[in-house]
Structures are given as structure tokens and as C-alpha cells.
Structure 1
Amino acid sequence: MKLRKIIHVDMDAFYASVEQLDDPELRGKAIAVGGGSKRGVVAAASYEARKFGVKSAMSGALAHKLCPQLIFVKTNFDRYREISQRIRKIFFEYTDLVEPLSLDEAYLDVTENKKGNPSATLIAKEIREKIKEKTGLNASAGISINKFVAKIASDYNKPNGQKTVHPEEVEDFIQALEIRKFHGVGKVTATKMYSLGIFTGADLKGKSLAFLQENFGKSGPYYYNTVRGIHLSEVKPNRIRKSLGAERTFLENISSEIFMLERLEHIAEEIERRLKKSQVAGKTITLKIKYSDFSLQTRSKTLSYYIASKELILETAKELLYQEKMKNSVRLLGISLSNLNTEDRTKKQSEEPEEVYVQMKFDF
């Protein structure tokens, strides 16, 4: 198979940068987009705030403690989507193979591109310059032969930089990575890997396929191939959604089931709206409960038919809520719908024969 030329473009502190772009008074200051209240959560932090340790998904209270001068700004997703669409138009000037991951990042396959430019490195530079010209925002990029390496590379020279990992450099690059950099390796898996003497990509490469399958099950072959630069996932312009959900964090912990049902009804309404917009339905309903002690519990039920209505979603969520007694007061509730009616297409794609990976040199 001919090696691909993949670019991962990642906007720098996107939400915070948009706010600083729109309000000159915020430029050069430590800002956090999101809630600064007791239960608020940081959605994004400017680089000025990150110097103090403020980061996304952090509680607003902790963020303010780390950076007392932090300025909190409310999210404005309509504005973020507007700019995101302008950025995507730039991507499509170069290739139709664009796979958005979120409003602020995307994969591009430029192996064959509309500009006829053989250098993915130069294309990435040109795209970043054009984004700056059209939006006033900075973007970083990673360039390599597959999505895995390109995504990691895009983080190397942030902000406003890029890194190319050439085909002949891929294996050395991966072997030097800390194991936590590998997609799918969270805290639990990392702890297990550490216990097995796996701290870097090089340590991982030293383990046999049989060893990895024995210790990590179905993920074993993924780790075995990825550390050897074999990552065949293509850039998918039309990513098929596998789940859809919504959740709410409460200002005060709640213990009354009546209040919980009221919150679940609002969540179910939101999910119904999103399902209609996406024109999908699902069979598996999952109730997510985060207690006041921050412990997390999920309860799921799979139906024999697809549902998309608020009433049926709420009915199943209620059943899951009453499945067992609450062990504590609740700070967050969420509902998600999976096993969607889009997955037949996913299955069909996965049954197509994979191409054989061949390492070769070419203009990058």
C-alpha cells in the first residue's frame, strides 16, 4: 500500500483564543472559558492561564485557587462553530478527505490533494498561515504517515508550530514516547503497564503479541501494531456516530428522586433534540451517576428496538435510576444512547479487506 500523508491540525487554546480575539481587553491575560462557580468546570484555558496549571475539565474553584487573577468567560458555542466552519472551508481547499474530531481539530489526508503539492509539510504550513490570515487565530499541526503519529506530533511545537515525523523516523519516534501518550492508555491501563515493566514505546515493542493479548485482551494487537508504526485507520470524512448523550452537573448535591427525575426529563429532552437533528436512534440507554464523593456509576439497558423519543428514553432512564438504591447524594446525572442505527454502516466498512502495510520512502 502507498503510504499516506496525514496532517492533524489543532487550534491553539481555541475557545479562549476566540474570546481574546473578540475582546482586546482579554488579550495577554489569564482567562478560562466556562464556569467559575463552585460547581463550574473549565472548558478551555488561555496559555497565560496554563502557566499556573489551569487546564480544561478542571473545577472552576481549583482553577481560581491556582490562578487568583483568572478571568472567567462564559462559553459562546455559536461563535466557536462559526469560526470552526470558516476553518473547515480552508481544509476543503486542499482535500475532501477531512475528518473533524471537534470544533478545533481535524485530520486531513493530503496524499493526493487539490493543490498538487507533494509536500504535506508545506501544505500544513500553508493551511496554518491561511487560518491566521482568515481568522486571526493560531493553529498547530502534526504531519506523518498515520493519524496516531500525526496527532501526537501536533502537540510538540505548540503553540503556533508544527512537526513532521518522516516515514523513516516513525518507529524511533514512537519508541521514545511515554506509554501514556498512546491512545487508549488511561490511568488504569498505564498502571498495569508500569507493573509489567512497560514505560515507553520501546518497552512496549519488546513485548510479544501473545504477551500483549494475554494481558490486554483485544487491545493487545492494537498496541503491538501501533508501536511498529502500523496504524491503518483511514481519514473518514463522514465519521459515523457511535453514541449520543448529555449530562448535567448540579449547583448543589441532590438526594431527592423527584428532583433527579426532573433533571433526567430535561436531559432526555436535550437528547431527543440531538437525535432528531442527527436523524439517528439507538437501542442501548446508559444512565451515568456521579455521587458527592466523586465516585462514578453507570447502569445500562439494551432494548430490542430503536428509540429516539424523549418519553421512551426517560422511561428507561427511570427504570435504571430505580434499579438500585442510591449510595449517596448526587452531583451529576447523564444519559447516553448507543448501539445506534448508524452502526450497520460501520460494520460494513470494517468487513472490507485491509491493505498490507509496506514501509517506503517518499517526498514528505
Structure 2
Amino acid sequence: MLSDLPIRKIIHVDMDAFYASVAQLDNPELKGKAIAVGGCETRGVISAASYEARKFGVKSAMSGNLAIKLCPELIFVKTNFERYKEISKRIRKIFLDYTDLVEPLSLDEAYLDVTKNKKGNPSASLIAQEIRERIFNEVGLTASAGISINKFIAKVASDYNKPNGQKTVNPEEVLSFLEHLDIRKFYGVGKVTAEKMYQKGIFTGLDLKSKSLDFLETHFGKSGRYYYHVVRGIHTSEVKPNRIRKSLAAERTFSENLSSEVFMLEKLNHIAEEVSKRLSKSKVAGKTITLKIKYSDFSLQTRSKTLPYYINDKDLIFKTAQDLLYQEQLNNSVRLLGISLSNLNTETKKTPEKESVSVQLKFGF
């Protein structure tokens, strides 16, 4: 039962349209305009879109060609990851003023466990509000936040009042909140899974809750157990400050589709060099190399090989990627190539267990 579980005060902070907002921050002339980060009018894939662009249906992972059709006045700006990292560090420094239990998910979002916090503030909601105000005043960007008893509900809640808002789900509200939630809002339920759930008569959390564990495991495999528990407010994963990296990758989208394997090898050589640099910078190595191929028709294929030893050397990465490229015939001309390394040597390292904080179900949020 929910009342028998450790109850924590978790905040999920999610920056609003981070890449696009940074571009508007650095160039005030872009404020209030529809902009897309990455891609271009004729080529490439968009990394992010401003809220002004989203009103036209423009979104991340969309081709620049389609985006400009949806929004003829769309402005394309280049990505600037060094700038994103710089601002992300400033935001993370604000988080650390409140708690050391900060788990970054990416440059623009993180979990914070403020059950015990440096300010001695018993209200997680007030802490979230203060953090958002500081981000706006000190960095110039807006953020949204979700506050609840575990990571799953906090993440779902952070999307509730976007942009520049927050949502608190108090302990006594958890079950009702989840029962009324559209199944598409459940973190971990993607488009394909949502369609499958619709076919099974699952449209809301209440519908999901009505299904037995056996039913969910039969139709959704290992994920079925996860769905069974989270809809009951059960998610015991702790905020882990030293999150272990699982993989490292680099990829390139080309200005023109590639048909010649000779040209592809040239591109793979550069990508392998980039991956090697990132591995060296992170002081890690990996055993499993995966080649990602996106064809001109946008179909995606991956090919993997696991070595008996860890590598981070550029030549070995390139040689393995080359072998994977020649492993089978290509289906079409290629618009994107990527290389990733997983099965990293970081996965053998153990992180110390965090103290489990158990409190009564009702307390100030």
C-alpha cells in the first residue's frame, strides 16, 4: 500500500523550451518569434522549437523541410552546446543551494530530493517556487516544476502547467491524480504503447488500474509490472546524484543523401573521432559499438557488435563501425550516420546507497 512506502519530497525541474529559450535570451530580436534550433529549410532535423513555433505544430525531431511548410515564418538558429552547458551549470549551482541530492536527466531537467534540505524549509512547493524565481532572476529563463512523493509523479506533474508554472500533487491526492490522468501523460508510455493500450480499452489511469498484473505483463512484457505499480503511486527509485552514464554517442545528418560507402566511411571516420574525444574527456571506455543508419525515407536501422574488451581508441571504434557498415547491404541512400558506445566500464562501479527517508503519509508539501 502507498501508506506503507517511504514518502519523499521530490521536485522535478524542467526548463521551458531550453535550447530555443537560450537563443532568444542571447538574441532579444528573436523573442516572441517562431524559431527552430538545428536543421534548416531544406535539410536536417530540428532539435528544439520555441513555444511560438509549437503553435504551428513544429516540434523536435521534425525535418526542417516539413517545419517550414507548417510555419513559413520560422527562423532557424544553430545549436550552441557550449552555451547550453554553461547555463546548465549555473542552474545546477542554484539546485545545490537547496540539496546535494540532485539527479540531472539532461542539460535542461533534473530531480531534486528536498525531504531534508539545506534551507530547513518543510514546503517542497515553496522551495520549487523559489528555485524557479532564482532561475528567472539570475539566468533569465523560465522553468516549470512538478512536486510530489516520488520521481514518477513529480515528472508527470512538471508538464502540467507548462510553461513557467508548477504543479504539486500532495500525498493524499496521488491516487486520484493518477486515476484521472490521460494514459498518454504517463512517463514511459510512448506513442506506440499508447495505441496498444487504446486497443485494450486503456485510456486513463483508472482504466490502467483496473487491469491485473498478469494482464499487463502478458500484453506489455516487463513494462507491465512498471505500469501496474506506478498507477498505484508506487515508484521507489531514489534521486541519485552520481548517475552512471550508460552510453555515449555522436551522429551527423548530411546536407545531401549519401549513396557511396566510400563517402560514408569518410563521415564515419569523423564521427568515430568525435566519440573517442568524448570518451576520453569522460574517462570511460565501452565494449558495445552500435552503428545507427537513417535512410532517405527516414527509416532507421541499427547494427551492434560487442567486443571482449573495453575500447575508447578512435581507430578501433572506426574499424568496428566499418565492419558493421559492410555487415549487410544498405537499403537506400543515407541521410544520417551515428556511432554509440555502451556497456561502459562505468557500469561496474558501485554508488553508495542513499539513506531511505520514511515519514508519515500526511505532511506539508
Aligned-residue offset at 1:58:
1.4
Match of 1:119 in 2: 123
Aligned to 2:75: 71
Q: How far apart are 1:276 and its partner, in Å?
A: 0.4
Q: Distance in 2 between matches of 1:316 and 1:160?
A: 46
Q: 1:46 to 1:356 in 2, by over 3 A?
A: closer
Measured in 1, the distance between the counterparts of 2:8 and 2:357 equals 13
Look up the match of 2:101.
97
Contact 2:276-2:314 at 8 Å conserved across structures: yes
Name the structure 2 match of 1:24. Answer: 28
Matched with 1:198 is 202
Q: 1:273 is matched with which residue: 274, 277, 281?
A: 277
Alpha-carbon separation, structure 1, partners of 2:194 and 2:348:
33
Question: 2:216 corresponds to which residue?
Answer: 212
**Deviation string for 1:30-51 (max 9, x for gaps)?**
2222222322222222222121
8 A contact 1:167–1:359 mirrored in 2: no
Instruction: Report the secondary structure of 2:224's partner residue.
Output: helix
Report which stretch shifted further, 225-234 or 26-35.
26-35
Whether the 8 Å CA contact 1:143–1:163 is kept in 2: the answer is yes
Q: Which residue of 2 aligns with 1:363?
A: 364
Closer/same/farther in 2, CA of residues 7 and 356 from structure 1, 3 Å limit: closer
Cα distance in structure 2, aligned partners of 1:185 and 1:23 = 36
CA distances 1:99-141 after superposition (whole Å, capped 9, x unpaired): 1111111111000000000000000011111111101211111
Amino acid in structure 2 at the alignment position of 1:171: L
Offset at 1:338?
Answer: 0.8
Number of aligned residue pairs: give it: 361
Single out whichever of 237-246 and 183-192 deviates more from structure 2. Answer: 183-192
Task: Give the Cα–Cα distance (whole angstroms) in 2 for the partners of residues 228 and 354 of structure 1.
Answer: 24
- Matched position secondary structure for 1:54: coil
Equivalence map 1:292-331=2 (5 Å)? 292-331=296-335
CA distance in 2, matches of 1:163, 1:353: 26
Stretch deviating more after TM superposition (239-248 or 171-180): 171-180
Matches within 5 A, 1:86-165: 86-165=90-169
Higher mean Cα deviation, 49-58 or 94-103?
49-58
Give the CA deviation at 1:356: 11
Q: RMSD of aligned C-alpha atoms?
A: 1.9
Letter paired with 1:321? L
Could you say which residue in structure 1 is the equivalent of 2:248? 244
Q: Distance in 2 between matches of 1:22 and 1:325?
A: 45
**Aligned position for 1:54:** 58
Matched to 1:98, the amino acid is V
Pairwise CA distance, 1:147:
1.0
Give the Å deviation of 1:12.
1.2
**Secondary structure class of the residue paired with 1:342:** helix
Distance 2:22 2:341 in 1: 32
Q: 1:215 to 1:359 in 2, by over 3 A?
A: farther
Structure 1 pair 288/147, CA: closer, same or farther in 2 (3 Å)? same
In structure 2, C-alpha distance between the alignment counterparts of 1:359 and 1:211, rounded to whole Å: 33
For residue 47 of structure 2, give the secondary structure of its aligned residue in structure 1: strand
Quote the offset at 1:354 in angstroms: 11
Residues in 2 aligned to 1:283 and 1:112: alpha-carbon distance in whole angstroms: 39
Report the TM-score, using the length of structure 1 for normalisation: 0.94
Structure 2 match to 1:172: 176
Q: Which residue pairs with 1:183 in the alignment?
A: 187
Q: Which amino acid aligns with 2:304?
A: S
C-alpha distance in 1 between matches for 2:358 and 2:45: 43
Which of the numbers 333, 339, 345 marks the counterpart of 1:341? 345
1:223 to 200, 224, 227: 227
Alpha-carbon displacement from aligned partner over 1:146-197 (angstroms, at most 9, x marks no partner): 1111111111111111110111111111122222222332232222222222
What CA distance in whole angstroms lies between the structure 2 residues aligned with 1:340 and 1:51? 40
Q: 1:353 to 1:212 in 2, by over 3 A?
A: farther
1:258 equivalent among 257, 262, 269: 262
**Amino acid across the alignment from 2:362:** K
- 1:285 paired residue number: 289
Give the conservation status (yes or no) of the 8 Å contact 1:13–1:45: yes
SS in 1 for 2:86: helix
Q: Comparing 292-301 with 118-127, which one deviates more in the overlay?
A: 292-301
Are the counterparts in 1 of residues 175 and 232 from structure 2 also a CA contact under 8 Å? yes
CA distance in 1, matches of 2:357, 2:124: 22
TM superposition score normalised by structure 2: 0.94
1:264-305, CA deviations, whole angstroms, 9 ceiling, x for partnerless residues?
111110110010011111111111111112111111111111
**Residues in 2 aligned to 1:78 and 1:120: alpha-carbon distance in whole angstroms:** 31
Q: Which amino acid aligns with 2:292?
A: K
Structure 2 equivalent of residue 234 of structure 1:
238
Letter in 1 for 2:225: P
In 2, are the aligned partners of 1:230 and 1:357 still within 8 Å (CA)?
no
TM-fit CA distance, 1:251: 1.1
